[in-house]
Structure 1
Amino acid sequence: MSTSAAAKPPAVAPGSARAWLLATRPATLSAALVPVAVGTACAVAASGFRAGPALAALAGALLIQIGTNFANDVFDYEQGADTAERLGPVRATQAGLLSAGQMRAGMVVAFALATLAGVYLTWVAGWPVVAIGVASVLSGIAYTGGPYPLGYHGLGDVFVLLFFGFVAVCGTVFVQMGEVPALAWWAAVPVGGLATAILVVNNVRDRHTDRKAGKRTLAVRLGRSAGVAEYVLLLAAAYATPVALVGLGLADWPALLPLASLPLALAQARVMVSGTEGPALNRCLARTAQTMLVFGLLFALGLAL
């Protein structure tokens, strides 16, 4: 794999505000926004919406996502997964835009600010928020750091499905209502599935450099074909869920609104199935994230209506 195919650092000054913005990975933040939007829509559907907890949940989710991105940036660099051979978007530590120390400090600040949102939510909704918050922060660090990094042992997909789906959606409903209705458990399936699909594209793209670094993702363990099959199944589960909700009488027909985004999903499924490799998968990853955003906002609107 030639280094010429690797992503080139943009014209960003080391240590600058733009360097920090790049390190937050703005394109990934939809994975934090969508679960809160869908969870809040579930609360609206159950006449349990509360603006304060909803906004605090959004702030906490975004900050935990940013802190996790910072942790991933520095730990992947230190473990040798992010090198000049990597085909994905620029990583701040590897590109020399921020030092490992700066990235660690940013991680601590992001998680500390998330904790402040958690303090308010604990006051509103009680001790379960503490368990949710602690588990989310520790998992964010343990994804690529610590003695047993989850992403390096093929557990990243499970982590994303659990935390970006069930924990985030159901947690958002819980802090507003004090309970989790059946609708929220169902709604978590497509949200977690699409977030995991983003990770799958990343892992398929990086499987060669990940193998060299000892990062045993499912794409490394099982190969590209298995990664593509996982991607397609995740999309299928996501788009089947609104239909199931309406069919079971758990939601009204507006819950079918996210089906309007199906052409976006099918276009990216075709890219994956076609055998596309290398930097072209960067576009597939970004468009999968866009698909999640469009699906999620339409789903939230449909559930709220």
Structure 2
Amino acid sequence: MATVAEWIEGARPRTLPNAVAPVVAGMGAAAQLGAFSWWQSLLALLVALALIIGVNFANDYSDGIRGTDTHRVGPLRLVGSGVAQPKVVLGAALAALGTAGVLGLVLVAATGTWWLLVLGAVCIAGAWFYTGGARPYGYAGLGEVAVFVFFGLAAVLGTVYVQAGTLSWVALGCAVAVGCLSTGVLVANNLRDIPTDREAGKRTLAVKLGDGGTRRLYLVLVTVPFVITVALGIAHPTALAGLLAAPLLFVPVRTITGGGAGRALIPVLRDTGMAMLAWAVLTGAALAIAA
């Protein structure tokens, strides 16, 4: 039986900024529209957290039973390492995804935005079929697209819409920025795993692009949010506070451009996630103040 500490590590807490950042940015965009609601924001945050924990356990289960995680570098894999039975990890994944579904239903019912049930169902299906099912799209190089859509566009714009009942170009800018940084976390992860993924037959985008192309993609993804920050700053000067998150990327960018590989890339995931969270907090707060 896995210990509590192993379960916590298996949930991959370093990925939690990918769930928190889009909701925080969405809160700021909602406030900019004069529609911030603390309880709706809290529910949106709980949905995002349950969803990312669910996808992490689902990936652990699916990759584990396929043997993809046998020689993987990085955080503990519960199934791949043998510390937990596959069916138990599957149960944890389904429980987390079910929790996300129930909380999402409560949020939709409370706000009357019933069409968002379709979006929620797509998000839950996307979480499972990333590495699950007969043809997982994560094995076909579409994982980065899914992260951008689900933890960027859907999470930010969904948070804004349930509160404001509408969207704005500011909200879209925040969604693209967070989506790029969130995708950057996955790109760094897949860059690290190119050798083992290639051997296991997992054709991630990183495997397809190769080492050099993946590093260039990472640099583009972490640059775009700050271009968006400057654009936001033209209309809302306080939003330029988002530029203060840029120094947090100096070390990970140096690691990427310096050819860091294997375990040297693990801090890149953490630092990119923290830069994303810092950008969301700074920008969200700036937009709220401007409102």
What TM-score do you get using the length of structure 1 for normalisation? Answer: 0.92
Quote the offset at 1:134 in angstroms: 0.2
More displaced stretch, 266-275 vs 56-65 = 266-275
Cα distance in 2 between the residues matched to 1:17 and 1:222? 38
- 2:254 maps to 1:270: yes
Secondary structure of the 1:93 match is: helix
Quote the offset at 1:209 in angstroms: 0.4
Cα distance in 2 between the residues matched to 1:278 and 1:15? 26
Cα distance in 1 between the residues matched to 2:100 and 2:5? 22
- 2:280 maps to 1:296: yes
Cα distance in 2 between the residues matched to 1:139 and 1:160? 9
Q: How does 1:31-42 map to 2 (within 5 A)?
A: 31-42=18-29
Cα distance in 1 between the residues matched to 2:77 and 2:35? 41
Cα distance in 2 between the residues matched to 1:220 and 1:210? 7
Contact 2:29 2:287 in 1 (8 A): yes
Secondary structure of the 2:261 match is: coil
Pick from 140, 155, 167: which aligns with 1:153? 140
Q: How does 1:159-174 map to 2 (within 5 A)?
A: 159-174=146-161
The Cα offsets for residues 206-237 of structure 1, whole Å up to 9 and x where unpaired, read as 00100011111111112011101100000110
Cα distance in 2 between the residues matched to 1:181 and 1:258? 18
- 2:233 maps to 1:246: yes
Quote the residue 1:110 is aligned against: 96
More displaced stretch, 64-73 vs 213-222 = 213-222
Aligned residue type for 1:296: A
Secondary structure of the 2:276 match is: helix
Contact 1:19 1:98 in 2 (8 A): no
Which structure: greater helix fraction? Answer: 2
Quote the residue 2:82 is aligned against: 96
Quote the offset at 1:17 in angstroms: 2.2
Cα distance in 2 between the residues matched to 1:52 and 1:278? 41
Quote the offset at 1:20 in angstroms: 2.0
The Cα offsets for residues 26-59 of structure 1, whole Å up to 9 and x where unpaired, read as 1100100000010011111110111221111111
Cα distance in 2 between the residues matched to 1:150 and 1:115? 22
Pick from 49, 52, 71: which aligns with 2:39? 52
Secondary structure of the 1:87 match is: coil
Cα distance in 1 between the residues matched to 2:214 and 2:90? 31
Cα distance in 1 between the residues matched to 2:48 and 2:268? 24
Quote the residue 1:70 is aligned against: 57
Cα distance in 1 between the residues matched to 2:41 and 2:154? 14
Quote the offset at 1:284 in angstroms: 1.5
Quote the residue 1:286 is aligned against: 270
Number of equivalenced pairs = 288
Flag as ranges the 4+ runs of structure 1 deviating above 4 A.
none
Pick from 203, 208, 213: which aligns with 1:221? 208
Which runs of 5 or more structure 1 residues have no equivalent in the other structure? 1-13
More displaced stretch, 194-203 vs 275-284 = 275-284
Quote the offset at 1:183 in angstroms: 1.2
Contact 2:197 2:207 in 1 (8 A): yes
Aligned residue type for 1:208: P
Quote the residue 1:261 is aligned against: 245
Quote the offset at 1:184 in angstroms: 0.7
Alpha-carbon RMSD: 1.2
- 2:124 maps to 1:140: no
Secondary structure of the 2:259 match is: coil
- 2:184 maps to 1:197: yes
More displaced stretch, 44-53 vs 27-36 = 44-53
Cα distance in 2 between the residues matched to 1:289 and 1:97? 27
Aligned residue type for 1:261: A
Aligned residue type for 2:114: W
Quote the offset at 1:18 in angstroms: 2.0
Contact 1:165 1:191 in 2 (8 A): yes
Cα distance in 1 between the residues matched to 2:14 and 2:112? 31
What TM-score do you get using the length of structure 2 for normalisation? Answer: 0.96
- 2:89 maps to 1:86: no
Secondary structure of the 1:89 match is: coil
